[in-house]
């Protein structure tokens, strides 16, 4: 019984260590991606005097409007989306 509880405790420690390592890697990768994406939006997609956050919001709204337009056109043509 004691050996089993030691094994469970060791497994738990290993799992916590592995999950912590994974989380650090995930944060690094996502953080790097966001820096590149923000730089791209800032360089190519912002309008005069617009912040990156404002540009992202505007782009999301425009994408939503385009998708709604496509859905309407598909409905008129009888195409299911």
pLDDT surpasses 70 at 74: yes
Our separate counts of H helices and E strands in the chain read: 2, 0
How confident is the model at residue 78, as a pLDDT?
A: 87
Percent of the chain with pLDDT over 70: 96
The pLDDT of 58-77, averaged and rounded, is: 95
Residue 55: CB atoms within 10 A of its CB come to: 17
pLDDT surpasses 90 at 57: yes
Q: Give the chain's length.
A: 81
pLDDT surpasses 80 at 49: yes
Which tokens hold the place of 33? 């991606």
Q: Contact, 59 vs 45, CB < 8 A? A: yes
């Amino acid at each position: 019984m004691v050996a089993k509880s030691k094994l469970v405790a060791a497994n738990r420690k290993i799992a916590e260590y592995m999950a912590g390592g994974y989380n650090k890697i995930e944060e690094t990768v996502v953080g790097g991606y966001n820096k590149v994406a923000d730089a791209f939006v800032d360089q190519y997609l912002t309008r005069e005097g617009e912040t990156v956050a404002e540009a992202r919001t505007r782009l999301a709204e425009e994408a939503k409007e385009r998708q709604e337009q496509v859905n309407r056109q598909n409905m008129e043509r009888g195409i299911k989306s």
